[in-house]
Amino acid sequence: MTPRKRYSVPLPGGRSLELGDRTLVMGILNITPDSFADGGVHYDLDRAVAAGMRMVADGADILDIGGESTRPGADEVGAEEEMRRVLPVIERLATETGVALSIDTYKASVAREAVSRGATIINDISGLLYDPQLGTVAAETRAALVLMHTRGRSAKMYAHAAYEDVVAEVRTELSGAMDRARSAGVRPESIILDPGFGFAKAAQHSFELLARLPALAELDRPILSGPSRKSFLKAALGDRLPADREWGTAAAVAASVLRGAHIIRVHGVREMADVVKVADRLRDSA
């Protein structure tokens, strides 16, 4: 059982994320027509808000709202279109729920508008590599900032999946992302790290990262784990569609909690919240 340090991550408005006593559940709310796991399901304001409310009722502590699919090979979406998709959803959920809202974007302009409408976390899949101004937005708005590890853009990320020691290299590159954030004025206590399962990684790289997740604790920041329905699970499960990978997701979520993750990011909130409760109870018993 991996020890898990406690952190208090400040949020705008005087709130904070208290991490470490229990694992927080981040529900994925994709407002896109082409997400790999649930494309088009929530591509409507009322349906998206209802889905977010249902996730909260099912146990989500955070809602992660995204308007652009980042699956391998996905087309990029312009900032205006991305804002058209996500801002109305954020505005509604900010008034109708009490949970923290995260904007899943790598664009500074989208992040700034999202925070102004109620988001308190910026979830950047690029680790501040795609838009240098995003760090400035995080610093100025005092939003929490999730820095995920990846290499290259979505369309060609697998061309960069070459590692001699994937854990050491991901740790080093996440440290570089932290340096970029601090240089932009982001407070160290506002940073959360994500190893980026499935992003610019072959299946064996993602499994090794999950197995050796405690190595990232050396960076002294909370860890977000997002294995939900990812294609790397097919290496163990066989060739299944994303919706048929929930049992595999459950195993990866349990492993994440037991290996020290502070937040797990999932599609099936109700089921994975139960997995987290049992895994947390195991941690407490140990």
Dihedral of CA atoms 203, 209, 211, 213 in degrees, nearest 10, equals: -160
The reply to whether 107 belongs to the active site is: no
Point out the catalytic residue in the list 230, 245, 259, 283.
230
Q: What angle do CA 236, 221, 137 make, to 5 degrees?
A: 105
SS3 of 224, please? Answer: strand
H, E, C per residue of 165-177: CHHHHHHHHHHHH
Residue 192 pairs in a beta bridge with 146
Residue 8: enclosing H or E segment and its boundaries? Answer: strand 7-10
CA angle at 75 for the pair 70 and 81, rounded to the nearest 5°: 90
Fill in the DSSP letter of residue 125. Answer: T
Catalytic residue among 22, 112, 221, 265: 265
Task: Map tokens 């400040």 to a residue.
Answer: 10
Residue 269: count other Cβ atoms within 10 Å of its Cβ. 25
Tell me how crowded residue 113 is: count the other CB atoms within 10 A of its CB. 20
- 265 assigned to active site: yes
Q: Which residues are catalytic?
A: 230, 265
